[in-house]
Homo-oligomer: A and B are copies of this chain.
Amino acid sequence: MGSVFGSKLRISVFGESHGAAIGVVIDGLPSGETIDMEEVYRQMQRRAPGGDKTATPRKEADMPEILSGMLGDKTTGAPLCAIIKNTNTRSGDYGNLLAAPRPGHSDYAAFVRYGGNNDIRGGGHFSGRLTANIVFAGAVSRQILKRRGIDIAAHIYSIGSVCDEPFEPTGISDDLIAALNTEKFALVDKSRENAMRAEVEAARMSSDSIGGIVECIVQGMPAGVGDPMFGGVENIIAAAVFGVPAVKGVEFGSGFAGAALRGSQNNDEFYYNDNGEIRTRTNNHGGALGGITSGMPIIFRAAIKPTPSISQEQKTVDLQQHKDTTLQIKGRHDPCIVPRAVPVIESAAAVALMNLI
């Protein structure tokens, strides 16, 4: 697998934080699909740092350049490749000697995996910046899914100990979906924004960072999609979502909380709605039973760990001198990536869904 995902729709992600460019090849797109690239760019801006006071001050253009697969505003059916050039590259500057791995980062694991040959500048291929490619692929996919009646939205379920109103599990309004899809700080209950930003600010003031949870809903999926066992909706979404570097947990429907429930509480009763459609009154199953969609919204949550980059002094090891040492990471860091993770999680879900429908 590595940086390739999917069977029906395959994305191949490439790039390193300080390399010439990052990008993605999307193979298997249907042809003749109109793609609104302005909308794609808007989604990418939701992920891009800057433009929001909680985000990292580093400015990145995140302006994708389409190399193939589009003719005018339509997909040709050939692989679509988009790249984003890096602007802060200094060629020839290969200061690649890993001295002290940053705690919580991939530095040490990658050092062993690649025998010290990986590009360590800015985290290389492990940089969160690579998620821009996922957002690109997801933003293209979401326009195609929407045309088939499938909408995706997500919100900041929590940052630290401050929670948003959860999604109504049986479905949210089209208006809320539309609103969330344009937000850089996506909340169901916008009155929680101040408390959340305070949580982030408190972390920043302590030279620290803070994690959170993103909740994502997929509406409009017909019943009967997915395969049993390893081809289920949950498997495929989880395999994609765990591709987002900071994700450490994925749960569907009642998830971990459901594990403490009785069957009589967790089972979702079926009924015929006014349109003669079969629905469930609750949605603890999160839209998938036996791996297959039930026709109810797919709901899942992804745990986002606190950004490991913090300005505090931390203990680590000196790989060259083989002894313990301390490390202080320089520069300014985004104390909370949860708001920016919202479009990334939506996008990973979109790419997964393109492999299911």
- Which residues of A are in contact with B by a Cβ distance under 8 Å? 1-5, 7, 10, 12-16, 19-23, 25, 27-28, 31-32, 65-69, 71-72, 74-81, 83, 94, 96, 101, 103-110, 112-119, 124-126, 130, 158, 160-161, 203, 206, 208-213, 223-232, 234-236, 238-240, 242-243, 245, 247-256, 258-272, 276, 278, 280-281, 284-286, 288-295, 301, 303-310, 312, 314-317, 322-324
Q: Which residues of B contact A210 (CB under 8 A)?
A: 261-263
Chain B residues near A289 (CB, 8 Å)?
A: 104-110
Which residues from chain B contact A2 at a C-beta distance below 8 Å? 10, 27-28, 79, 227-231
CB contacts (< 8 Å) of A285 on chain B: these are 104, 248
User: What are some 17 contacts across the A-B interface (CB < 8 A)?
Assistant: A2-B227, A10-B12, A14-B25, A16-B68, A20-B68, A31-B118, A108-B289, A109-B223, A109-B288, A110-B289, A209-B262, A211-B266, A212-B260, A235-B238, A248-B253, A248-B286, A259-B306
List, in ascending order, chain B residues with CB within 8 A of A78's CB: 3, 14-16, 118-119, 124-125, 228
- Between A1, A66, A158, A252, the greatest number of chain B beta carbons within 10 A of the residue's beta carbon is seen for A1
Residues on the B chain within 8 Å of A126, using CB = 228, 290
Which of A21, A266, A316 has the largest count of B CB atoms less than 10 A from its CB?
A266
Q: Are A12 and B79 in contact (CB under 8 A)?
A: yes
Selected from B105, B263, B292, the residue in CB contact (under 8 A) with A110 is B292
Determine the chain B residues whose CB is within 8 A of the CB of A309 once the complex forms: 263
- With A78-B119, A259-B305 known, 8 other A-B pairs at CB within 8 A are A4-B231, A31-B113, A71-B117, A74-B117, A77-B114, A232-B242, A270-B315, A272-B323
Q: For A303, give its contact among B125, B158, B251, B272 (CB under 8 Å).
A: B251
A61 to B228, CA, bound (A): 24
CB distance from A276 to the nearest CB of B (A): 7
Residue in B1, B74, B208, B291 whose beta carbon sits within 8 Å of that of A230 in the complex: B1
Residues of B within 8 A of A247 (CB): 234
Q: What 4 pairs between A and B have smallest CB-CB spacing?
A: A106-B290, A249-B251, A1-B231, A112-B224
A301 to B249, CA, bound (A): 9
Alpha-carbon distance A260/B304, docked complex (angstroms): 9
The distance from the CB of A28 to the nearest CB of chain B, in whole angstroms, is 6
Q: How far is the CA of A54 from the CA of B308 in the complex (A)?
A: 43
| Shortest CB distance A65–B (Å) | 7
Residues of B within 8 A of A115 (CB): 31-32
User: How distant is A225 from chain B, measured CB to nearest CB, in Å?
Assistant: 7
Nearest-neighbor residue (CB-CB) of A265 within chain B? B306
Q: What are the residues of chain B within 8 A of A310 when measuring CB–CB?
A: 263-264, 267
With A81-B14, A269-B103, A317-B272 given, is the CB distance from A245 to B69 under 8 Å? Answer: no
